[in-house]
Amino acid sequence: MSELDNTPRTYSGALLAAIAVALLGALGGLIWSATLSSRLSTQQVELTDAKQQNVTLAAELRETNARLQVATDELGKSLGTGRKSRWMPVRRRIIRREAAQEANSKRLESAQQQTAQQVNAVSSEVSNVKDRRRRREVRCSQDPKRSGQRHQQIDLNAGRSERPQQPHRPQSR
C-alpha cells in the first residue's frame, strides 16, 4: 500500500477538457446574462418615457377637446336654431324615401312569391296533363280493339285538333 500512496495522481486530458468547457460555458452564460440585463434596463427606461409621453399627450388631447367643445357651442349659439330647422326637411325626405323603398321591396317580395306559386301550379298542371296523355296512349296501345284506330287529341291552348305522333317503327325489308 505504500507504493500506491506515493504514486502521484495524473489527471486525464479528457477530464481537463470537460472542466475547461464547463468554465467557458459558465463564463459565456454570465456575459449573455449581463447583456440581457442591460437590454432589459434600457427597454424599461424607454417604456417609462413612453408612458410619460402618453400622459402628456392625453392631457393635451383633453385640453384640445375642451377648446373644440367651447368653439362648437359658440358656433351653435351664433347660428341659432335656423341651422337645425334647415336640415329637418332634408331628414324627413330621407326618412320618407327609405320608407318608400322598404314598402317597394315588400311589394316586390310578395309579387315574387305569388309568381313562384303560379309557376308551380302551372308546372304541376302541365305534368298532370302529360301523365294523363301517356296513360291514355299506353291504354290505346295495349287494347287490341283500338290498336287500328286513330284518336284525335285536342290541344287545350290552341283549340285545334291534331293527330298524335306515331312512334317511329323501323320498316322490315
- What cell numbers appear for 60 in the block? 393635451
Q: In this predicted model, what pLDDT tens digit does every residue of 70-94 receive, in sequence order?
A: 888 888 777 765 455 666 777 888 8
- Rounded to 5 degrees, what are φ and ψ at 154? -100, 130
What pLDDT was estimated at residue 108? 93
| Whether the Cβ atoms of residue 164 and residue 141 lie closer than 8 Å to each other | no
Average pLDDT, the chain: 80
| Whether the Cβ atoms of residue 140 and residue 146 lie closer than 8 Å to each other | yes
Banded model confidence at residue 29, pLDDT cuts 50, 70, 90: very high
- What cell numbers appear for 103 in the block? 314598402
What pLDDT was estimated at residue 48? 95
Bridge partners for 78 per DSSP: none
Is 53 part of any domain? yes
Average pLDDT, stretch 22-26?
97
Q: In this predicted model, what pLDDT tens digit does every residue of 30-56 receive, in sequence order?
A: 999 999 999 999 999 999 999 999 999
Is 8 part of any domain? no
Average pLDDT, stretch 107-132?
91
Is 171 part of any domain? no
Instruction: Please give the residue range of the domain that contains residue 92.
Output: 18-143
What pLDDT was estimated at residue 130? 87
Banded model confidence at residue 160, pLDDT cuts 50, 70, 90: very low
Is 71 part of any domain? yes
pLDDT at 26 exceeding the cut of 70:
yes
Is 154 part of any domain? no
Name every residue whose Cβ is closer than 8 Å to that of residue 137 and which is 6 or more positions away in sequence. 164
Is 148 part of any domain? no
pLDDT at 113 exceeding the cut of 60:
yes
Is 149 part of any domain? no
Count up the domains in the chain and report the number: 1
Rounded Cα gap, residues 95 and 73, in angstroms: 28
Residue with cell 367651447: 70
Is 64 part of any domain? yes
Between 39 and 143, the higher pLDDT residue: 39
